Structure 1
C-alpha cells in the first residue's frame, strides 16, 4: 500500500526533483531533512504543508492525499455533449468521505465526470479547477446527505464558517464529512445532521483545535447547492 510519504517521493521523482529541490519550491530553506522525514513517514505534513507540496508537485491536494488517479477509457465528455464549451466537466473520484465514522481511501481513480453549466458555477462563485466530486458513505449527515450521494467539494474553501459542511481529514488520515457550527458560548462544534445524537454525538472543539483542524474542502453540492 502506498503511504503518503512514498507518494510524495514518487511524485518528486516523476518531477525529477531532489529533496532539496522540492523543499526550495515549497519555500523551505534547508528543508531537505523535512522532505526526507515526510517521505519516510516519520513526520506527517499539516494541511498548510500539504498544499505547498501539492502545488510544487503539480497535483491537486486530493490527488496528493488520496493517491494515483487513473482516467477511465471511452470518449471525452466533449465528444458526447453538444455545446460543451458551456459546461465544466468535474472529475468524479472514487474516493469516499464518511458521513459517519472515518473512511480510508487506499487507492483512488477517476470514474468519470459530473457536468455543470459554467454560468451556474459563476453564479455560485465556484471555479472549476478547485472542484472535485467524491462519494458520501454513511448515515450521519442524513437527511441532508445520504449514503452513496455524489458530493461536490471546493478545495479553495478551507476556512471554517458557521453552518457550512466540510470534508475533514482526521489525524489518523480518514476523511469525514461534517457540519461545523459556532458554539453559543465560544468554540466550535463538529456536528452530524442526523438527529440520533447517541450514535452521532456532537464533538466540541476549542479555538486552538479549530486552527489545527485539517479542512480539505467545503462541500458545495450534493444534487443541489449547499
Structure 2
C-alpha cells in the first residue's frame, strides 16, 4: 500500500504494535476469555465440548482457577479453534494456521523447474555450472490460456540491461524450450558463437535475413546484429521467452 500520509501510517503502526503487545501480555484467563468470545460460542456449549461443568469454564475465564489440566486445555483449543500453547502460556500464534500460508495445489498449479542459469541482456553470460534451484508455481489454467505445456518450460534469470525497460537485471524469465524456430518480433534465449547465453529479440529484415536486436534504445551501445538466413540456421536457439512477470 502506498504511504500517502506518513503520520497516519506511523500512528497506525504504533497502534498495531500496542495491540500486539497487549495480546502478548494477556494473562491466561484473558486469553481464554478472548478465545471463547471470538469462537462465537456460549460458555455452556464450551463446557459441553470440553466435558466439564459450566462453573469450570466460568472459573477459567475469571481467573479463579489457577490450574488447567492438559486434557482440558487441548479440549478448549479444539472447541475454540485457538492454539493450545498460546492459550496455556501465551507462546506461538493465536491460531494454529495463523503463521502458515496455504500450499499451492498440484491440481491447480504446475511447478516449473527454476535453474541458476543466466541469459545476458548484453554480452553473453557463460554458465559454467547450472543446477535446479527450486521451482515456480504457475496456474494450470493460465498455462492453458497461453498454450504452454509445463514439461517444455524452464525458469532462468536475466543478466544486464540491454533489453531495458522490457527486462530488468536479475529478473526471472520463463523460457519455452519447444519454441526453437525463429519468428518475427519474439524474444529468445540463444547461444552466441562463444556458447554464452544471450537474450535477444529476433526481427525479420525486409531486405532478407534477420536482425538480433536488443530492446534498449541506446543503439550505440547495443546495435542490431544482422544475420543471413544461412547464418541463422547456425544460431542455436534455446527457447522463446514467454514470461517475465507478465506476458511478452
* Equivalence for 1:142: 164
* Equivalence for 1:217: 239
Matched, 1:173 2:195: yes
Matched, 1:206 2:223: no
For CA contacts below 8 A with separation 6 or more, give which structure has more relative contact order. 1
Q: Which runs of 5+ in 2 are unaligned?
A: 1-100
Name the CA distance, whole Å, in 1 between partners of 2:168 and 2:188: 15
Q: 1:119 to 1:199 in 2, by over 3 A?
A: same
Q: Is the 8 A contact 2:156 2:173 kept in 1?
A: yes
TM score, norm. by length of structure 1: 0.64
Deviation at 1:188, TM superposition (A): 0.7
Q: Which runs of 5+ in 1 are unaligned?
A: 1-78
Deviation at 1:85, TM superposition (A): 1.4
Within the candidate set 212, 229, 238, 1:190 is matched to 212
SS across alignment from 1:129: helix
Number of equivalences: 148
Equivalent residues in 2 for 1:76-87, closer than 5 Å: 81-87=103-109
Whichever of the two has the greater Rg, that structure is: 2
Q: 1:205 to 1:82 in 2, by over 3 A?
A: closer
Within the candidate set 113, 138, 149, 1:116 is matched to 138
Name the CA distance, whole Å, in 2 between partners of 1:132 and 1:82: 19
Name the CA distance, whole Å, in 1 between partners of 2:225 and 2:130: 29
Matched, 1:130 2:152: yes
Matched, 1:158 2:167: no
SS across alignment from 1:120: helix
